Structure 1
Amino acid sequence: MTAVANTLRQRMKKREEDVSSSLSSSPSSLKKLRNGNPARTVEMLERRIADEFRVKEYLWTGDIDVDLFSLKCVFTDPTLSFTGLETFRDNLESLQPSLRRIAPEGKKRVELRECGKDEDSADVVVAKWRMVGNLQLPWRPKIDIQGETRFQFRRERVDDVEEEEEERERKGGEEEDENETCLRVVSYRETWSETASEALWQLVTPFAHEKE
């Protein structure tokens, strides 16, 4: 999705800042990303991941639930990979002005085909989806991408700002209170049924829309 939107942005000749591919903010600023409502069970995590697609349609809107992700989650799609929740959030937010212009309400949708825990991996939730949009550009392209996203998760502290190494070693033998832990996504891996070049080719291909 990020790659598709970036190409659209270049096509429209809209100049925007490049988003850094490394996590450089201080722990205190990263902590402010949190809304204070983490997922504490696998069932809750599955439900909220499903809401990302069904309710928020984040593939188009960029509206993500930051409490679901580890601060140093690794994000990967067919065209790029980077580390850091803040980078992911900022990347999505920077694309929104372009996307709102070329894919307004009523011209786009996200369909969630399936969402649940992976049969072979107890620590992975798999979502299968379809992203469709009739873009408001002179050549009237249509985006229609089917994909799958694998959300690998682990249990970590609710307050996940990293401790100093010596402090972590000192606490190594202590048991953590479950009320102080939650489940967060540490790896986000997005794949498409189309190749990256096929998906990007949709952006420059005129589409014969039916009359509304």
Structure 2
Amino acid sequence: MNHRCCTSSAYWTGGLSAAPSHRYRSRALRLAPRQEQGEGDTDSHSTAVSEFEQTSGSVKAFVGGLTDLFVRFAGGDEDSEALSADTSAKASLSEAELEAGIRQEYAKNYLWTGDINEDLYEEDCNFTDPTLSFSGLSTYKRNVGSLQGVLDLFVRNSRSVLYSCELRQEDSCVQTRWRMVGDLRLPWGPTIDVVGRTTFSYDSSRGNRIFSYDEVWEMEAAEALMQIFRPGTRDSAPEQ
């Protein structure tokens, strides 16, 4: 959601500033929506998911407008730092180290906090979710930093669970499936509850660091957005 992520967390409070268009199509596995699937389970079902290209222009425009509002309100509308062309300062990772690092991201609830390990990413990494696509680790840091106060103000009981994490050497990527749940501090008590998948594509010639972060959701982007306006009526704790 990354948050988000382009992290997911950022989406629910306005998203991240969109920049260059989506460059990489998702290679995420097609898994059954809302199926509480633990690690090691096989993918026995198939369904469509919401991706950036499939999301309507109106939804993208709505999220983009909220993005600009929140970032400007937080004073984060300055030009982003110039991308560094030199990534030699970052140590190369083994594929096993990259997978372990990604698992740790979920363990520290990055889907909501936006707190990522920058050493896992290339400076020009492309971040995409069903509503936004932009390039640059510096852009990610600027926008997520601007949204932290908003998250603290409006989100409580934020939690996430990692259902699966698979290193796919043949595709040079790590694929994850997860669920994120959070309650919003609004009078009608809405709950955000999204199951999604993320493909972290890496380049062996660049130290096995992530050059593409591609997030999809197992529901339509508009449906996910409408959760903000629905009264909360149930216990939404993720199942382990």
Same fold (TM over 0.5): yes
Corresponding residue number in structure 1 for 2:175: 126
Tell me if the contact between 2:167 and 2:175 (Cα under 8 Å) persists in the aligned partners: yes
TM, length-normalised to structure 2: 0.65
Q: Give the SS at the match of 1:46.
A: helix
Note the C-alpha offset of 1:204.
1.3
How far the C-alpha of 1:3 sits from its partner, in A, is: 2.3
The code of the aligned residue for 1:41 comes to S
2:162 counterpart residue number: 112
**Residues 80 and 155 of structure 1, relative CA distance in 2, 3 Å threshold:** same
TM-score normalised per structure 1: 0.72
Match of 2:116, SS state, is coil
| 8 Å CA contact 2:114, 2:144 repeated in 1 | yes
1:148 match: secondary structure: strand
| Contact map agreement 2:122 2:209 (CA 8 A) in 1 | yes
The one-letter amino acid paired with 2:132 is L
Describe the shift of the 1:202–1:18 C-alpha distance in structure 2 as closer, same or farther (beyond 3 A). Answer: farther
Q: Please, which runs of 5 or more residues in structure 1 have no aligned partner?
A: 158-181
Match of 1:141 among 173, 185, 190: 190
2:104: which partner in 1?
51
Which residue does the alignment assign to 1:103?
155
Partners of 2:75 and 2:131 in 1: how far apart?
Answer: 19
Q: Which residue of 2 aligns with 1:154?
A: 203
Cα gap change, 1:18 to 1:196, in 2 (>3 Å): farther
Displacement of 1:154: 0.7
**Is 1:62 matched up with 2:105?**
no
In structure 2, the residue corresponding to 1:101 is in which secondary structure?
helix
Q: CA RMSD in A?
A: 3.0
Distance 1:132 1:38, change over 3 A: farther
**Which ranges of structure 2 fall in alignment gaps of 5 or more residues?**
1-7, 16-62, 236-240
Bigger Rg over Cα: 1
The 1:110–1:198 alpha-carbon spacing in structure 2 relative to 1, beyond 3 Å, is same
User: What is the distance in 1 between the residues matched to 2:74 and 2:92?
Assistant: 34
Deviates more, 1:88-97 or 1:60-69: 88-97
Secondary structure at 2:162 match in 1 = strand
Normalized per residue, the structure richer in strand is 1
Shift of 1:120: 5.3
Residue 201 of structure 1 corresponds to which residue in structure 2?
226
How far residue 75 of structure 1 moved from its aligned partner, in angstroms, is 0.7
Quote the Cα distance in structure 2 between the aligned partners of 1:96 and 1:18: 11
1:23 is displaced (CA, Å) by 6.2
Report the AA paired with residue 87 of structure 1: T
Paired position in structure 2 for 1:42: 95
Equivalent pair of 2:175/2:197 in contact (CA under 8 Å):
yes
Q: Distance in 1 between matches of 2:124 and 2:84?
A: 11
Alignment map for 1:167-178 (pairs within 5 Å): none
How many percent identity over aligned positions? 35
Cα distance, 1:80 vs structure 2 = 1.2
- Contact (CA 8 Å) 1:124, 1:153: kept in 2 or not? yes
Q: Does 1:189 align with 2:239?
A: no
2:165 is paired with a residue whose SS is: strand
Q: Match for residue 84 of structure 2? A: 27
Q: CA deviation at 1:64?
A: 0.6
